[in-house]
Amino acid sequence: MADWPIPTKERMDEIFESSKNWGRWGPDDEVGSLNLITAEVRKAAAAAIRQGLAVSCSLDMPVDPAPDNPHPALHMMVQGGDDCLVPGFGLESTADFVGVAFHGMASSHLDALCHVAVGGKIYNGFDVTEVKSTGAQRNSVMAAKDGIVSRGVLLDIPRLRGVDWLEPGDVITPDELDAAEKIQSVEVREGDVMLVGTGRDARRTAKGRWSPVEAGMAGLHPECLPWIHGRGVAVLGSDGISDVLPPPQIEGWTMPIHETTLVAMGVHLLDNLALGELAAACAQFSQWDFQFNALPLRVQGGTGSPLNPVAVL
């Protein structure tokens, strides 16, 4: 692979500016690159269903505290089998409650376009203060209320490199995206959900869980952003959080992938996916594209959603 230096501040500013889709779909647009998922794209996605196989790309609800899960989800029974007779009704029933602050490192979730700001602005130039204490009044997860149903493509970087997993801090470069496409005989197209596998599941299984904040995580080099923008990616997902941790030292930028996709491009992100099972299925069938369904909860004013995305091969 070629050498890819960390961008200077000037180069990073340029990447951000040249990736901007602000105004592209009108001044009031809150949907962003989901606009690229047209009826034709959805029909093409349906054509990618060849095996009739559905594969979850989600981790389990993260109820157990761990180094990568300092704010565990809540799952509690409201009524169990020991006391299941509904008073005055006669039905035997059990029930539970589930709740989560999903923007962590352990929860498979969708980032809405209000989740990140740059210089006080969110996608399409709205002010981040429109994200109120009572909920987002702009760019909420309701942009994806009818679900993200499109063609998905998995780029399996450990497979490309011939390793079981990438190490924390490993950086994926644009030429690797090209090389993965080539070796997998697949191409990321306009309107696609682009998934980047880093082998995080495998590493977690082999080595145990770690804190991405303290010990790092593999992710994309900022120079992948023009690549993503050029392809017209609708949604970007990863088993990590797409960004590298610790982040590259670029003045004025903290998580350049989050900042540029969510804010400049209006590209929703899928973080902390589980891609190991999907990668195995793709390799088995030599099929790296599929229908991909990510169906967020309809939360008015939400900044994203926990969800269980499913690939259908």
C-beta closer to a second copy: residue 117 or 217:
117
Question: What's the rounded Cα separation, in Å, for the pair 155 and 305?
Answer: 24
C-beta closer to a second copy: residue 126 or 288:
126
List Cα–Cα distances, 42 to 34, 45, 47, 309, in angstroms: 12, 5, 9, 16
Give me the least distance between CB of 113 and a second copy, in Å please.
11
Q: What are the two backbone dihedrals, phi and then psi, of residue 81, each rounded to the nearest 5 degrees?
A: -70, -15
The residue with tokens 């501040």 is: 9
Q: Is the four-CA dihedral 90, 81, 102, 199 of positive or negative sign?
A: negative
DSSP symbol at 303: S
Among 56, 179, 226, 232, binds a second copy (CB under 8 A): 56
Tokens linked to 254: 């903290």
Question: What's the rounded Cα separation, in Å, for the pair 313 and 311?
Answer: 6
Binding mask 170-209 for a second copy (x = CB under 8 A): ----------------------------------------
Give me the least distance between CB of 97 and a second copy, in Å please.
4
Q: What are the two backbone dihedrals, phi and then psi, of residue 311, each rounded to the nearest 5 degrees?
A: -95, 135
C-beta closer to a second copy: residue 1 or 77:
77
Considering the rule CB under 8 A, would residue 310 count as an interface residue with a second copy? yes
* β pairing state of 171-172 and 219-220: parallel
Among 13, 72, 179, 209, binds a second copy (CB under 8 A): 72
C-beta closer to a second copy: residue 55 or 194:
55
Among 4, 20, 63, 226, binds a second copy (CB under 8 A): 63
Contact of 278 with 300, CB cutoff 8 Å: no
Question: What's the rounded Cα separation, in Å, for the pair 275 and 56?
Answer: 8
C-beta closer to a second copy: residue 9 or 43:
43
Considering the rule CB under 8 A, would residue 71 count as an interface residue with a second copy? yes
Q: Which amino acid is at 114?
A: C
Considering the rule CB under 8 A, would residue 164 count as an interface residue with a second copy? no
∠ CA 44-222-248, rounded to 5°: 145
Binding mask 82-121 for a second copy (x = CB under 8 A): xxx----xxxxxxxxxxxxxxx----------xxxxxxx-
C-beta closer to a second copy: residue 174 or 306:
306
Site for a second copy in 242-261 (CB under 8 A): 254-255, 258-259
C-beta closer to a second copy: residue 44 or 179:
44
Give the number of residues in contact with a second copy, rule: CB under 8 A.
Answer: 95
